[in-house]
Structure 1
Amino acid sequence: MRFIHTADIHLDSPLHGLSAYPDAPAEQLRGATREAFRQLISVAIEERVDFVVIAGDLYDGDWPDFNTGLFFCAEMGRLQRAGIPAFVLFGNHDAESQMTRSLRLPDNVRRFSASECEVHTIEALKVALHGRSFKKRDTPENLLASYGPAIRGYVNIGVLHTALEGHVDHASYAPCTLEQLHAQGYDYWALGHVHEHQVWTGRSTICFPGNLQGRSIRETGRRGAVMVTIDGDGPPQVERLFVDVLRWEHLDLDVSACEDLDAVGRATGQGLARLLECDAQVPRAVRVTLRGESAAHGELFQRGGELRAHVLAEIAALGPERLWLEKVKLATRAPAPADTLDALDAAAPSALLGADALADLQALLAEARHDDALLKELRDDFAQMLGKAPDLANELPLLRQVREGDLSALFDAVLPGLLARLAARE
């Protein structure tokens, strides 16, 4: 017996983070959740699975456009013509949806009640599916208490939309523990709500399939559902199915060895090429974060626009139809001041602004750290700037420290770049 377990589809939910990119494929972005679901249904039909389980958050809140629901009905119709039933449990997002309450679904779709735990059986397979939908979005109680015992002689599958316990990134709806799930005595738990894929084994096999399609940079990597195979008395076997049609990636790159902007651009291009080694046919939306103690630190901050242009040039060379840039973030550090001074002096020993002058300037800046009047003036200036653009501090760790009154990191960051700029001009 084989079935597909999916959850957190969020049909027609928008993808965030690429609207500012002029060449982003708007139509592909708008249709990503639909296309991923369409591919999943195609897999179900091609593999001739016995049934499909949807463990909550099919929709994404109270959408006014019934076209979303009509699309779902059409896909369920494809399953019906193939003789495949679908068991649908509604989660916190579905509880708000008008479509959940009023849209008539094809006869092969069986919904779980929100009033009590409901059991659906497939007699030919001796399968019993236990589940309870959300009646309202805010469901803080443990719904597991309403689930009945396993039915003897059947394969028992529990369907539950839950945060479990300890998933702080997700609202704590219908919380329960792994121990409670195992104690229920079911063979398999088809969970939803947590968007990351996870599997636990033991008395029961417990699984979050992860969401079907990543919707922002917070949902990186391969996304999809799971194929579950139950053969004889052995435990259920879980295999991942990847059906996402646009993938979010985070390229976290150490540029410590890069001496200048050109070297950083080349290293970024190599990192982007590595991303395409897996599932090259799936387009990527990429956030690039540069880290490390680099001699290019000052130049990167001074020439932020050129840095973005360098990354876009690398993307253009690799194939703009396969990669889009979500953002470039800088998290580099400047080398220690003494190392920077030695490097500059060695690189330009005959410069008009020599090592002695640089050393004097370094000493002056070191004294500025203890100048109370200057520090107060800087804090006031930064407070005024961050008051006008409060999100800046969330983007740059350095500005978060400044907002909290700590200017030491600011001096550490500015000094190497200032010395490098002066030496380069000379």
Structure 2
Amino acid sequence: MRFIHAADIHLDSPLTGLSAYEDAPVQRLRTATREAFTRLVNVAIDEAVDFMVIAGDLYDGDWKDHNTGLYFVAQMGRLNRADIPVYLLYGNHDAESQMTRKLMLPDNVHLFGSGKAATFINDTLKLAVHGRSFKVAATTDNLAASYPPPVPGLFNIGVLHTALEGNAAHANYAPCSLAELQAKGYQYWALGHVHEYSAWRGDACVVFPGNLQGRNIRETGSRGAVMVEVDDEGQIEVERLLVDVLRWHRLDVDVSACVSFAEVVRAIAAAMQALLTEFDADMPLAVRVMVNGATPAHGELFGLEGQLRAEVLAQTMALGHDRLWLEKVKLATRAPMESAAHHDNAEALADLRVLLDQAKGDPVFLESLQNDLMGLVGKAPQALQGSVPWFDDIRASDLNRLLDEVGPALMAHISKAE
């Protein structure tokens, strides 16, 4: 038999932080989760799979209106007409207590309740599917411990939304260990919650398919579900099924060899050009550029992330790359260490460096600087309020990061001027 295992679809996940970008492809980003899920259903029908498993976080929370539910019901209807059953449970984002709106689902959808673990039997496929939905989002009990023993003579699948051990980056919901799952006696565990693809072999095949569609820069790279094939001897083959319609990418650009702002712009544009050749010509990209390296241009770049993004964006648009959106440019450069050491006024610059370091521990100076900077923040245009990274630090009286940035930039400016 063959089946599709998907999780963490987050249908109609809300967009945040994009209002500051007039050039953001908002519509494409807003519809990406639906488009990816539609592609998944297309594959299920075209490949005539035996069933589909959705291991939690189908939704991203309570619906804004019924349109999200209507869309999902329509897709389940397509699978129903193709005689494809669906085994569905809810995770922390669509826990029973989270959802105030509901719609009746077609008869092919088998929904796991939240009261206790349940089992659905498919005699035709000699299949038993076990699972339990979340009742509340912050479910920290070990749900796997309550799952029933395997049904003898059947292929047993456990569907579970869990952080699993070792996934510190994810909230510790329904925690359990890999060894515990392997010892349960099931042949396959269809997991959800962790957004990166992972698979383990042993007495059971344990799989996180990852989320279906990347939604922000923290979810870079290819995304999708898995196609699982089980032969007559019970051997399991797992193949990634990539259905994402827009891909997020982090591009690191070393500008150590650049000596000016203009050269940095050209270096980033060249890196973007090279990136585009690596991807399918039909795959839209949302890219964050991380600019790093010890460069003489460090001082000239200080505080110009917005201007740098605009320049690079202009370069890519001039080349006709309409499938690429530059989400953000982040500066992480530093001044070359040798720039002051070889300077005629090295001693004076060294003294300045000491003064800058001492400033971070001078409460009187910091209070005076805070007062002066708050006046500037208050007068800044609204367009700058959310785009200047130090404004939040200034409001919170945390000036160390700003001083860490200003020090090298000031040193680089003086060295360049001399």
| Fold in common (TM above 0.5) | yes
- CA contact 1:112–1:132 (8 Å) conserved in 2: yes
Determine the C-alpha separation between the residues in 2 that align with 1:284 and 1:124.
Answer: 43
Assess, with a 3 A threshold, how the Cα gap between structure 1 residues 127 and 299 changes in structure 2: closer, same or farther: same
Please say which of residues 399-408 and 322-331 is displaced more in the overlay.
Answer: 399-408
Map Cα deviations across residues 198-233 of structure 1 (whole Å, 9 max, x no partner): 111111111111111111111111111111111132
- CA contact 1:17–1:216 (8 Å) conserved in 2: no
Query: Which residue is equivalent to 2:415?
Result: 419
Please say which of residues 178-187 and 229-238 is displaced more in the overlay.
Answer: 229-238
Alpha-carbon offset, residue 234 of structure 1: 4.9
Structure 1 residue ranges without an equivalent (≥5): 343-354
Kindly report which structure 2 residues correspond to 1:161-310, keeping only aligned pairs within 5 A, or say none.
Answer: 161-276=161-276, 277-301=278-302, 303-310=304-311
Query: Which residue is equivalent to 1:97?
Result: 99
Letter of the 1:264 counterpart = V
Q: What is the SS of the residue equivalent to 1:94?
A: coil
Alpha-carbon offset, residue 181 of structure 1: 0.4
Query: Which residue is equivalent to 1:403?
Result: 399
Map Cα deviations across residues 224-267 of structure 1 (whole Å, 9 max, x no partner): 11111111325421111111112111112222122222222222
Q: What is the SS of the residue equivalent to 2:149?
A: coil
Query: Which residue is equivalent to 1:144?
Result: 144
Assess, with a 3 A threshold, how the Cα gap between structure 1 residues 395 and 263 changes in structure 2: closer, same or farther: farther
Alpha-carbon offset, residue 32 of structure 1: 1.2
Determine the C-alpha separation between the residues in 2 that align with 1:38 and 1:245.
Answer: 10
Tell me the percent identity: 53
Letter of the 2:33 counterpart = T
Determine the C-alpha separation between the residues in 2 that align with 1:382 and 1:317.
Answer: 42
Q: What is the SS of the residue equivalent to 1:80?
A: helix
Letter of the 2:287 counterpart = V
Determine the C-alpha separation between the residues in 2 that align with 1:67 and 1:51.
Answer: 25
- CA contact 2:251–2:290 (8 Å) conserved in 1: yes
Q: What is the SS of the residue equivalent to 1:176?
A: coil
Map Cα deviations across residues 379-398 of structure 1 (whole Å, 9 max, x no partner): 2345444896899668999x
Alpha-carbon offset, residue 406 of structure 1: 10
Assess, with a 3 A threshold, how the Cα gap between structure 1 residues 83 and 262 changes in structure 2: closer, same or farther: same
TM-score (norm 2): 0.88
Query: Which residue is equivalent to 1:36?
Result: 36
Letter of the 1:159 counterpart = V
Letter of the 1:368 counterpart = L
Q: What is the SS of the residue equivalent to 2:180?
A: helix
- CA contact 1:2–1:227 (8 Å) conserved in 2: yes
Map Cα deviations across residues 134-172 of structure 1 (whole Å, 9 max, x no partner): 112121100112111111211111100111123222221
Assess, with a 3 A threshold, how the Cα gap between structure 1 residues 409 and 73 changes in structure 2: closer, same or farther: closer
TM-score (norm 1): 0.86
Determine the C-alpha separation between the residues in 1 that align with 2:411 and 2:374.
Answer: 22
- CA contact 2:12–2:60 (8 Å) conserved in 1: yes
Assess, with a 3 A threshold, how the Cα gap between structure 1 residues 386 and 115 changes in structure 2: closer, same or farther: farther
Alpha-carbon offset, residue 109 of structure 1: 0.7
Determine the C-alpha separation between the residues in 1 that align with 2:401 and 2:14.
Answer: 38
Determine the C-alpha separation between the residues in 2 that align with 1:60 and 1:370.
Answer: 46
Letter of the 1:89 counterpart = L
Query: Which residue is equivalent to 1:351?
Result: none
Alpha-carbon offset, residue 288 of structure 1: 0.8
Query: Which residue is equivalent to 1:323?
Result: 324
Map Cα deviations across residues 176-211 of structure 1 (whole Å, 9 max, x no partner): 010100010111100011111111111111111111
Letter of the 1:57 counterpart = D
The Cα RMSD (Å) is 3.0
Kindly report which structure 2 residues correspond to 1:49-68, keeping only aligned pairs within 5 A, or say none.
Answer: 49-68=49-68
Q: What is the SS of the residue equivalent to 2:194?
A: coil
Letter of the 1:313 counterpart = A
Determine the C-alpha separation between the residues in 1 that align with 2:332 and 2:106.
Answer: 52
